[in-house]
Structure 1
Amino acid sequence: MARSFVRNHRSYETTYFESPANPILAYHHQPLKVRSLCEDTVTSYQNFFRKLLSLKMGDQLECALDLMRRLPPQNTEENLSQLISLVPSLHEDLVNAVDQPLKVATCPITNKEYLQSTFNRDGDSFRSPWSNEYDPPINDGIVPSSKTRKLEIAANDAFNTYREMYYEGGNSAAYFWDDQGQDGFSGAVLFKKVGDSVRKMKGAWDSIHVFKANERGRNAHYKLTSTVMLYTITSKSELGNLNLSGSMTRQFDADYPFEEPNAHIANIGRMVEDIELKMRNLLQEVYFGKTKDIVNDLRSINSLSESQKQANMHGELNSSEMNKILLEILVLENYQRTRQFWCNIINT
């Protein structure tokens, strides 16, 4: 396994994949149906793993990534470990291609919380964006150059303000590293917000934005790959158990001018803000909206007697309205016939 993201030169251009949200609904008040569903799922996965072991290396990686996209993101670390134990030859490729939920840690030097991810890891140590030191300490840990480190500090301050405005809590971190032999740098902007579990409901939002900035004179070309991992779990006696989870990945690139190095921060922030807004709207309108429609069709808040009473009332209203319309039609027809009768008499 490579020591870190930087030393392994992970490329989002080759590992990009579309990852639609995968709603998982399970209601425990129907044990027979849930048991049947679980048995079918186990059989399906057994057949999948048999097929996985019989494929070539490239096909195995594609199938493994396809499987990880369909599993709940809150169990990514466990599922990834089991998949690697099943096919050890895919260890390095899977670790570099699968985004895992972010973890929160505390910097021992500044006593401030930061996010642990692949992008600030070197071996078993993680670099704090506040102190630029690894925890646990190591002697030869990879750190950005002084120029890139200044941009990293400014980015952490800027995105910390962005987090307070948009998320009203949670954690954020920005990690930059130098691109060897190229005019520019790369980095990752991370956000994590965890639910408070006050209303018997827990969930988390992980937002990972990986970018690459190439300087071209007075302009810079930015390529951004954003991944959102979301899960929400509800357990209430009146509603049952609900587990809604999934992930989404989008790519976006643009060219912006920059007069000074700090202009990179504003350009990257603009891209992150735009793509997060689009992904939030897409999640709310498409995924959650569709799930809400399905749940409303499956579950009714009102009792059967109330629903039947409302249906009878609608039927009575419809019948009375129909009778009224028919009466108006008959009156109109009689009026027209009478008018035509008198017209004929007058003409004769």
Structure 2
Amino acid sequence: MADPIDCALDLMRRLPPQDIEENLANLLEIAPDLTDELLSAVDQPLRIQKCPATGKDYIACDYNRDGDSYRSPWSDEYDPALEDGNRPPPAIRELEVVANDAFNTYRDLYYEGGVSSVYLWELSDGFAGAVLIKKINDTARLMKGAWDSIHVVQVTEKGRYAQYKLTSTIMLYTLTSRDALGSLNLSGNMTQQDERDVQVNEPGDHVANLGRMIEEMEAKMRNGLKEVYFGKTKDVVNELRSAGSLDESRRQAAVNQELFHKLNARQG
């Protein structure tokens, strides 16, 4: 008999990413005994909030949540205010500040918009963190979409080296609706992992090492999404409707037929 949690996760992977919150709530209502496992295993779309102290946007998710409050990476304060909320120790917080500045520049260069946030927390033999990027396109009246990047990393320090275990998830959807073309919903998600040992001479090197890993991972996953989703859609459209004219297709068929006859004559 199939494992219920495996079946539930397989179902969530096949449903539209933009409806994850609604579908997850429905699934939890059907199978409440899977609540803890599903909430920890299913990545939900990132939400954007504004930091009251700095006025900057940041990403609210499980990685900066304590109760019903969310910690801003810019001010290190919770909204709503929470005096005893979980915060990283000073050394980790200092690294978190540097990482937020670095990935804010990365986001601006690669995404030309959107919001990024980095959250770090301490482990017994190192630290862990989440690098989050979200961009929404809702400027066009008949087109909208969103891109969510969720990079979770565990860093284990081993003397002058550090081991990085990275799990990256990208959730993407694009929606269009036109009278002439009808409605199109193109969506999906992809998760990949990477692991490597890299030399570390000073704490700031962690940010550079993570930056290189995430940059390479996002490029790889973007190409994968392009081939799997957009490439397949293009193939389907081309099968349904040829881009060339009817006369051009007939000329091509005639050339192919002529070549076929000449090859047969030569072989005979």
The two structures share one fold, judged by TM-score above 0.5: yes
Dislocated runs of 4+, deviation >3 Å: 299-302, 309-323
Superposed, 1:5-24 pairs within 5 Å as: none
Q: Residue 298 of structure 1: CA displacement? A: 2.0
* 1:32-66 deviations in Å (ceiling 9; x for gaps): xxxxxxxxxxxxxxxxxxxxxxx79xx22111111
Letter in 1 for 2:43: D
Distance in 1 (CA, whole Å) between partners of 2:257 and 2:91 is 78
Distance in 1 (CA, whole Å) between partners of 2:15 and 2:203 is 41
Structure 1 pair 322–279 and aligned structure 2 pair: CA distance change class (3 A): closer
Q: Percent identity?
A: 56
- Alignment of 1:62 with 2:6, yes or no, is yes
Match of 1:81 among 14, 17, 25: 25
SS in 1 for 2:21: helix
Superposed, 1:200-219 pairs within 5 Å as: 200-219=142-161
Structure 1 pair 102–218 and aligned structure 2 pair: CA distance change class (3 A): same
Distance in 2 (CA, whole Å) between partners of 1:149 and 1:280 is 31
Superposed, 1:1-348 pairs within 5 Å as: 59-179=3-123, 182-198=124-140, 200-300=142-242, 307=246, 309-314=247-252
Distance in 2 (CA, whole Å) between partners of 1:208 and 1:315 is 49
Unaligned runs of 5+ in 2: none
Distance in 2 (CA, whole Å) between partners of 1:93 and 1:317 is 61
Q: Residue 187 of structure 1: CA displacement? A: 0.2
Which of structures 1 and 2 has the bigger CA Rg? 1
Q: Residue 300 of structure 1: CA displacement? A: 4.6
Q: Residue 176 of structure 1: CA displacement? A: 0.3
Letter in 1 for 2:127: F
Q: Residue 149 of structure 1: CA displacement? A: 0.2
SS in 1 for 2:84: coil
Instruction: Kindly indicate which of the two structures has a greater share of residues assigned to helix.
Output: 1
Moved more, 217-226 or 282-291: 282-291
Size of the alignment, in residue pairs? 264
Distance in 1 (CA, whole Å) between partners of 2:82 and 2:169 is 30
Bigger relative contact order (CA 8 A; separation at least 6):
1
Q: Residue 310 of structure 1: CA displacement? A: 3.6
* 1:64-90 deviations in Å (ceiling 9; x for gaps): 111111111100001111111111111
Distance in 1 (CA, whole Å) between partners of 2:174 and 2:22 is 18
With normalisation by structure 2, the TM-score equals 0.92
Letter in 2 for 1:253: E
Q: Residue 320 of structure 1: CA displacement? A: 7.9
* 1:143-164 deviations in Å (ceiling 9; x for gaps): 1000100000000000000001
Distance in 2 (CA, whole Å) between partners of 1:198 and 1:187 is 34
Distance in 2 (CA, whole Å) between partners of 1:258 and 1:80 is 40
Distance in 1 (CA, whole Å) between partners of 2:5 and 2:234 is 34
Instruction: Kindly indicate which of the two structures has a greater share of residues assigned to strand.
Output: 2
Moved more, 68-77 or 286-295: 286-295
Unaligned runs of 5+ in 1: 1-54, 330-348
Distance in 2 (CA, whole Å) between partners of 1:315 and 1:251 is 47
Q: Residue 312 of structure 1: CA displacement? A: 3.9
SS in 2 for 1:255: strand
